[in-house]
Structure 1
Amino acid sequence: MLSIRDEDRVRVVTLDRPDRRNALTSDGLDALADAVQDAEQSVVYVHGAGSAFCAGADLDVVRTLDGESAPEFAEHGQAAMNAIEDAAAAVVAGVDGAARGGGVELALACDVRVATPDATFAEPGVSMGIFGAWGGTRRLPRAVGEAHALDLSLSGRTADAETAREMGLVSRVTDTPRAVADELARNDPDAIHYLKRLLRDQHDREEQDAREQEAFGALLEDGL
């Protein structure tokens, strides 16, 4: 499900379920959070194997959820994304191919988001009567502003890499996103840590996460 390669200053974490477009199960969420949190390097680079970055939550799991288990699954995903956001290392998302739903939320939990020209982003859950509930309702408006966040979420439309850069969903479009992780890793580890903490400081995370859990559970009261 994951592969990890440790280098001098960069830990490379690969989402490794290409046959499922790197969709995440509960075990995958835990493994990913642990891989990022446990890194001794100053930078963690997260990317996907195959043709997608991450398709989000595994739909085989989502289809089993109901009004009681859905909030628990949302809380599980939120905890994993919060762990990534709170990690001591700077976390770089290298998005190549599709990022969908929870895959967008994973990218948002990372500190720096870099896309290849082939990257695409979408929140398609609205067409199925659900939404990404791993902290996306809090992080997406912070990244792109309320207008873009509402447009992406309510339409379910797909944004290409350049559109994502223009709206602030990613900071760079490049053929070599891994090089950005190496660029960060050349800097002082302590300075990276303190800058991340100061720039990432936020308020009311718990309240918004609880609202996400409740709404996700209500939508899945009768299953998907």
Structure 2
Amino acid sequence: MGATLHVSRRDHVMLLEIADPATRNALGGDKFFRAIEEAIRIANDDMDIRVVIVTGQGEAFSSGGNVREMHGRKGMFGGTPEQIAEQYRTGIQRIPMAFWKLDVPAIAAVNGAAIGAGCDLACMCDIRIASERAVFAESFVKVGIVAGDGGSWLLPRAIGHSRAAEMAFTGDTIDAATAREIGLVSRVVPHDELMTAAFELAGRIAANPPHALRWNKRLLRESQIARLDTVLEMAAAYQALAHRTEDHTEAVTALLEKRRPVFKGR
């Protein structure tokens, strides 16, 4: 069956909730992958959506791959080596590719265990905040495999090569306090306050002009792989566009008039 993705809206924020209590929100199933892709397409197309929050229902954020299916060589874990490789490409790898294309700032609200691909899913988001109950593990080596969902690319960009290597080579689980110490999350909050904190942060982000948010995200994303001169050229182009938006005029006017701006995405 695979996980279900619950999608909802609150003001300018889209909430994505992973739900599969039987597997502690394991990531799998074509329906789930399509739901992720569709939610991100909607967020990109709707200028009224300014932030995406990703979380899990129940006690876990995501347990990653379905270990029972792994053991039984079912689903994307079954078949010849060639078939398994193709099933990864057309299956779980659709998630990092979809998030790479997301123009809207994304927050991972890590409510519990983020294990394997669940840890990597959190790293696909721009900002990670954690419940005090959250734990993280880049645990693929513990089951004798590698991070087939892009973790070897994602995790070092979140916490640096040395710490990412330690997590990947040991497969050890770290608690929320350690995750904050190494920069995997920016904040740890009491469990019952996690979603309040996530929406409060999302609200502070969403208070800004939507075009400027998206252009800033694109620049940060491109800066991970591009040369300085390339990013400067992109910044000049986006800056030229930004200076001619109505929202820029409104922001400057509101600042001078000492009032709260009203942005319309134009």
Contact 2:28–2:92 (CA under 8 A) maintained in structure 1: no
Q: Does 1:34 align with 2:42?
A: no
Q: Matched residues, percent identical?
A: 38
Distance (Å, rounded) in 1 between the aligned partners of 2:134 and 2:162: 22
Distance (Å, rounded) in 2 between the aligned partners of 1:181 and 1:71: 37
Distance (Å, rounded) in 2 between the aligned partners of 1:58 and 1:30: 18
Q: Does 1:45 align with 2:57?
A: no
* CA separation of 1:73 and 1:180: change in aligned 2, threshold 3 A: farther
Distance (Å, rounded) in 2 between the aligned partners of 1:14 and 1:107: 13
SS of 1:87's partner is: coil
Q: 1:59 aligns with which of 67, 73, 90?
A: 67
Q: 1:9 aligns with which of 2, 7, 12?
A: 12
Contact 2:27–2:92 (CA under 8 A) maintained in structure 1: no
Q: What displacement does 1:29 show?
A: 2.4
Distance (Å, rounded) in 1 between the aligned partners of 2:37 and 2:135: 24
Q: What displacement does 1:77 show?
A: 2.2
Residue by residue over 1:88-136, the C-alpha shift from the partner in whole angstroms, topping out at 9 and shown as x without a partner, is 2111110011000010111111111111111100022212111221111
List structure 1 runs of 4+ shifted beyond 3 angstroms: none
Alignment of structure 1 residues 67-106 onto 2, 5 Å: 67-75=81-89, 76-106=91-121
Q: What displacement does 1:193 show?
A: 0.3
Distance (Å, rounded) in 2 between the aligned partners of 1:53 and 1:9: 23
Distance (Å, rounded) in 2 between the aligned partners of 1:181 and 1:132: 29
SS of 1:77's partner is: coil
Residue by residue over 1:162-221, the C-alpha shift from the partner in whole angstroms, topping out at 9 and shown as x without a partner, is 1111111112212334232222222221111011000111439xxxxxxxxxxxxxxxxx
The aligned counterpart of 2:241 is: none
The aligned counterpart of 1:216 is: none
Distance (Å, rounded) in 2 between the aligned partners of 1:23 and 1:150: 24
Q: 2:202 aligns with which of 181, 189, 201?
A: 181
Q: 1:19 aligns with which of 9, 17, 22?
A: 22
The aligned counterpart of 1:203 is: 225
Q: Does 1:115 align with 2:130?
A: yes
Contact 1:165–1:173 (CA under 8 A) maintained in structure 2: yes
Aligned Cα root-mean-square deviation (Å): 1.7
Q: What displacement does 1:32 show?
A: 1.8
Contact 1:82–1:109 (CA under 8 A) maintained in structure 2: no
Higher alpha-carbon Rg: 2
TM-score normalised to structure 1 length: 0.85
SS of 1:81's partner is: helix
| Structure 1 segments unaligned to the other structure (5+ residues) | 205-224
Distance (Å, rounded) in 1 between the aligned partners of 2:145 and 2:68: 14
The aligned counterpart of 1:138 is: 153
- How many residues align? The count is 204
Q: What displacement does 1:38 show?
A: 1.5
SS of 2:129's partner is: strand
Which letter maps to 2:51? V
